[in-house]
A and B are shown apart, each in its own frame.
Chain A
Amino acid sequence: EPEVTQTPSHQVTQMGQEVILRCVPISNHLYFYWYRQILGQKVEFLVSFYNNEISEKSEIFDDQFSVERPDGSNFTLKIRSTKLEDSAMYFCAAGGVVMGEQFFGPGTRLTVL
């Protein structure tokens, strides 16, 4: 079973602070994604990443968010100045080997106080 790992599993931060969420996708996947799930709501797409650049982003992914793959393995999501409404579960996903399929990491629970 393919595996995507994410760290940390839970992050607590103060409003206005920067956070970096990390993902280590399966090495032979080509496309990487971040999704967000506010508690009790559906999973929402944030951004997709391919060939070291953003390929698509949603309206949620505003200037407070950024992504990068600094060393060819880790895939990070940065939120520059967190807001209370950023509290959610953030999922990393990887795909591109088997057409259509995306494999999700276990998620990072972000709590903004």
Chain B
Amino acid sequence: AQTVTQSQPEMSVQEAETVTLSCTYDTSESDYYLFWYKQPPSRQMILVIRQEAYKQQNATENRFSVNFQKAAKSFSLKISDSQLGDAAMYFCAYRSERGSQGNLIFGKGTKLSVKP
């Protein structure tokens, strides 16, 4: 069974600086998707970024980028120029590539605080 591990329960960053959130996963599959979701205090789950395992190029969405290391099964999220609104829980998630039906498997999350 696949597992997702986020080893940092909490992280803190100064406004305008850069922070990296770690995620590792375990799978025997070769094709899959990886995601980062943001959960602010409202508890809404917001998709931040996604990565297809077959793509070597790291995904980027504005200030958010990932470092995807397939061999190491590592998928970290980098947030540049951190803003107060980035403060939230961040969940790493894995999804099998088998069709479109696979459910998401989440890590336990990292709580990010942004200091003004």
Contact = CB atoms under 8 A, between A and B. Distances in A.
Nearest to B95: A100
A107 B106 CA distance: 16
B45 to A, nearest CB: 4
B50 A101 contact: yes
Interface string A14-45: 00000000000000001101010100011111
Interface residues of A, number: 29
B44 interface: yes
Interface string B89-111: 00101010100110111111100
Given A56-B101, A107-B44, 13 more contacts: A31-B100, A33-B104, A42-B107, A42-B109, A45-B105, A50-B101, A89-B43, A101-B33, A101-B47, A101-B50, A103-B47, A106-B43, A109-B43
Interface of A: 30-31, 33, 35, 37, 41-45, 48, 50, 55-56, 58, 89, 91, 93, 95-96, 99-104, 106-107, 109
> Interface SS of chain A: helix, strand, loop or mixed?
strand
Contact of A31 (B45, B93, B101, B108): B101
Contacts of B100: 30-31, 95-96, 99-100
Interface string B60-81: 0000000000000000000000
Given A55-B101, A100-B33, A102-B104, A42 B91 contact: yes
B97 A48 contact: no
B104 A107 contact: no
A53 to B, nearest CB: 12
The residue among A33, A41, A101 with the most chain B CB atoms within 10 A of its own CB is A101
